Amino acid sequence: MKHTPKMLSLITLLLCAACGGADGQDGQDRQNGADGQSTLFRTTPIEPGDTCPTGGSLIEFGVDTSQDGILGDEEVAESTTVCNGTDGTPGSDGTPGEDGSPGADGQDGAPGADGLTTLINITPEQAGANCVAGGQLIEAGADTDGSGTLEPTEVTSSAYICNGEEGMQGPPGQDGAPGQDGQDGADLLLEVINEPPGANCQFGGQRLIAGIDDNQDGALDTAEIDQSLYVCDSGLLLSEPAVSTVFDNHEQCYVFTNNLISTVWDNVSNQLLSGDFARNGYWKFAPGTSDWAASPDQDTATAWGRFVLVAGPRQIVGAPGSYVGHPASSYYVADIDATGTLSNQRSAIFSDGFTGSCHQISTSNDEFLCYDGAGVRHYTVVSGSANLTLNKVVPLSQQPVEINTFGTTFAWDGAYYYFAQDGRTSTSKNYLAYGSNGQIQGTYTVAGSGAINSPYFDWSVRRYSTHDGFGNRQEGTVYLGATVNSGSWDSHCFGPPSPYHVAP
């Protein structure tokens, strides 16, 4: 089955590596110019931990100034970290057959739907502010529109690999034949090759190769490859989601008193967590149970308010207070342990100095997402850190009716953004779907009862869910808290595990 990459983070630093030497002076005694120096990579494995939850590699770049074929510590110019993707959960064993004579082989299952493709563009960069002596711009992202071309709105990461600046002129050689020039220095070449699933990349990906064009034919021959860098797909998104039905057919609904905050489901602890817009503390209880406390009963000394769970690094991001948008200065990052208990609430640090409001919030597997009233801001979250590092801002081509909603969340499933069309009404079941470039795809109506005030995709359990701030959305099996006030209910409903994503 072909797996789809999630949005990749390729290289987040500006990198510079030398290409060939400058043109030689007029040759003297038929002596050729000096050969250009080689660009080397050095890869060091990273064990699973805070930096990379599933391990990865430290990639170091530099010029082999000593020309010994080894990148020494003093030759390292820049470095970057590339983390491994998250493995999917193995499928369940089949039910053993009864003893007896062997049966005929069953038919092969239908192939899974093709996923999105990761693309990498390499374009020349003219001499200027980004690269003093020119170089290459590398851009990467998922081909969300399936066009086979990496569009500007699909670029999720980029890096510059710069040519080396001209070195000091060496001493003149002996006189040579009149009019004979020294050879030009060779150029640095970069190419991208598709990498099939295998030992280098479990789900496939891309191989970036670099080297010096020694024979100056404009192509990177096998013998000229100095180093390779593999950019592997993570495989979390398996196929294109059906945007018109993803919020239908809920399996279970949980009914609260009037708390106006959405609920998240933590896969590790198998606990449901929900905050309250007016009271301190939060709820924590097992899925498939009723009779949780009438009021939040966990850590009632702390105002938790609304929050989301970033599944990959297992961090909580949220803000206390009502359902209306809060400025970035109100947001916190907190830890969650293996039992689902929240702790260590600390102020979030936005890398871009963002001072606006997050009116609605969401997550990807490893990002916090903030809807600022005009577009979606993607911030990388790291385990144990309060830093939120801006990756990109995606403007929405059309805004929902209400920028503040009951439930306070929107949904992002790796391919589409979903917003309630009017998130403060008791009757509307309409939602807007946008492509990954922020362009509106259409307005859809969710099946079933009640209203849809906030949609959400919970990456921890890979389930689509909806919040009804009036409690009328009750489908599948309904579970009730200890006290439910008639006419002042909230409900939060979860669908079955997504067929479009790798199981958690």
User: Do strands 411-412 and 375-381 pair parallel, antiparallel, or not at all (unpaired)?
Assistant: unpaired
Correct CATH for 252-497 of 3.40.720, 2.60.40, 2.120.10, 2.20.70? 2.120.10
pLDDT in tens, 328-348: 999 999 999 999 999 999 999
- How many Cβ atoms sit within 10 Å of the Cβ of residue 82? 19
Nearest in space to 207 (alpha carbons), one of 198, 217, 218, 219: 198
CB-based contacts of 408: which residues, under 8 Å, 6+ apart? Answer: 260, 261, 262, 306, 323, 360, 361, 454
- In whole angstroms, how far apart are CA 447 and each of 224, 417, 441, 471? 59, 19, 19, 16
For residue 59, the cross-strand partners are 43, 80
pLDDT in tens, 400-441: 999 999 999 999 999 999 999 999 999 999 999 999 999 999
Q: What is the pLDDT of residue 252?
A: 96
Residue ranges with strand state E in 213-319? 225-232, 252-257, 263-266, 271-274, 283-285, 306-310, 315-319
Higher confidence at residue 126 or residue 358? 358
78 has pLDDT over 70: no
110 has pLDDT over 50: no
The distance in angstroms from the start CA to the end CA of the chain is 17
Residues 457 and 241: beta-carbon distance below 8 Å: no
- How many Cβ atoms sit within 10 Å of the Cβ of residue 73? 8
Name the pTM for this structure: 0.60
162 has pLDDT over 90: no
113 has pLDDT over 50: no
Q: What is the pLDDT of residue 184?
A: 58
Whole-angstrom Cα distance, residue 447 to residue 250? 9
- In whole angstroms, how far apart are CA 259 and each of 120, 305, 364, 482? 45, 9, 24, 14
Report the amino acid identity of residue 250: H
- How many Cβ atoms sit within 10 Å of the Cβ of residue 177? 10
Residues 205 and 192: beta-carbon distance below 8 Å: no
246 has pLDDT over 70: yes
Domain ranges, ordered by start, for the chain: 15-85+115-166+182-232, 252-497
pLDDT in tens, 22-72: 444 544 444 444 444 556 667 777 777 767 666 666 777 666 677 777 778
**Would you give the distance in Å from CA 72 to the centre of its chain?**
33
